[in-house]
């Protein structure tokens, strides 16, 4: 397995950091070169996309894909981390119903401004916010523009502290726990997430992912190759160009290629079903960005 290269989809369990998963998979796969496409909070579960070997250079083409989440929020109760692991900071019953939540959601679709939480990996002044938070410090955080592609209400349990179930599809940098709290603020209260599960990154689904325990068993059975997704498949959201042998030689040396007129943005360059490189479509040329061949 040490010579493998590709993507592994992991269904992360709660209580693990994304770094924990990477460290465990390094031992399971017998590889040092492993990275991931988008951190999941320790309490969150679901899809973590790993790049292994040379495919780590391709992770940026997955990181920016829209991500889909299933979230459950408790309205009326705030915590310092905006999730259930944090210390409670505010509690006040909220007299709202399902229609109130649906009405408030409209303002949180599309491009919105969002302030990162103190318990996050965002850096301010060269320091990660979670490091400052552990020291009891709170600093000003500039709001950032993020995109909410989809926001649906999937369940509402009435009461003084309503439970609200959401489905969210968001772009890179979106914090679902901040989104839930901002939604509650718009209704005159506060909220925190009681659960969060990432179910997709682009077209990559958690249903296709492996638990860490299952990867351990595959390793014991000598079947780890079954868990590795070919780069050409993992990046199927990008258009592709097939090349012949002579063009493949040019690609391996990073040469430019003629560009078909209908292409724009990043393109997979493929020979015999294998991903050779990612090129960027220019005016009349394909320009190499990442060459694997």
105/18 Cα distance (integer angstroms) = 30
Which residues belong to the active site?
41
Angle of CA points 48, 50, 54, to nearest 5°:
165
Which pLDDT score is estimated for 124? Answer: 57
Mean pLDDT (the chain) is 91
Q: Render each residue's pLDDT in the chain as its tens digit; 293 residues.
A: 444 789 999 999 999 999 999 999 999 999 999 999 988 989 999 999 999 999 999 999 999 999 999 999 999 999 998 999 889 999 999 999 999 999 999 999 999 999 877 565 556 555 565 555 565 556 566 789 999 999 999 999 999 999 999 999 999 889 999 999 999 999 999 999 999 999 999 999 999 999 999 999 999 999 999 999 999 999 999 999 999 999 999 999 999 998 877 888 999 999 999 999 999 997 788 999 999 97
Distances (CA, A) of 81 to 42, 143, 158: 12, 17, 24
Which pLDDT score is estimated for 126? Answer: 59
Name the β-bridge partners of 33. Answer: none
Quote the DSSP letter at residue 21.
Answer: H
pLDDT tens digit sequence for 113-129: 998 775 655 565 555 65
pLDDT tens digit sequence for 144-182: 999 999 999 999 999 999 999 999 999 988 999 999 999
The pTM of the full predicted model, rounded to 2 decimals, is 0.91
The number of beta carbons lying within 10 Å of the beta carbon of residue 103 is: 12
């Amino acid at each position: 397995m040490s010579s493998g290269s590709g993507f592994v989809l992991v269904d992360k369990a709660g209580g693990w950091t994304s770094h924990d998963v990477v460290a465990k998979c390094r031992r399971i796969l017998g590889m040092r070169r492993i990275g991931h496409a988008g951190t999941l909070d320790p309490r969150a579960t679901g899809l973590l996309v790993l790049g292994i070997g040379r495919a780590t250079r391709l992770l940026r083409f997955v990181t920016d894909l829209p991500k889909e989440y299933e979230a459950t929020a408790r309205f009326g109760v705030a915590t310092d981390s905006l999730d259930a692991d944090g210390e409670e900071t505010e509690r006040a019953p909220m007299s709202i119903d399902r229609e109130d939540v649906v009405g408030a959601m409209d303002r949180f679709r599309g491009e919105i401004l969002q302030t990162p939480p103190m318990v996050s990996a965002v850096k301010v002044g060269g320091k990660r916010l979670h490091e400052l938070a552990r020291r009891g410090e709170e600093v000003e955080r500039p709001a950032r523009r993020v995109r909410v592609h989809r926001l649906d209400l999937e369940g509402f349990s009435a009461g003084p502290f309503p439970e609200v179930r959401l489905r969210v599809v968001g772009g890179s940098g979106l914090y679902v726990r901040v989104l839930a709290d901002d939604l509650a603020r718009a209704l005159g209260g506060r909220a925190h997430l009681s659960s969060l599960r990432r179910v997709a990154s682009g077209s990559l689904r958690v249903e296709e992912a492996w638990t860490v325990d299952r990867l351990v068993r595959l390793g014991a059975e000598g079947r780890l190759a079954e868990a590795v997704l070919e780069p050409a498949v993992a990046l199927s959201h990008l258009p592709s160009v097939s090349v012949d042998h002579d063009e493949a030689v040019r690609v391996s040396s990073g040469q430019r290629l003629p560009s078909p007129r209908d292409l724009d943005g990043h393109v997979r360059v493929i020979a015999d079903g294998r991903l050779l490189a990612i090129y960027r479509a220019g005016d009349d040329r394909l320009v190499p960005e990442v060459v694997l061949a």
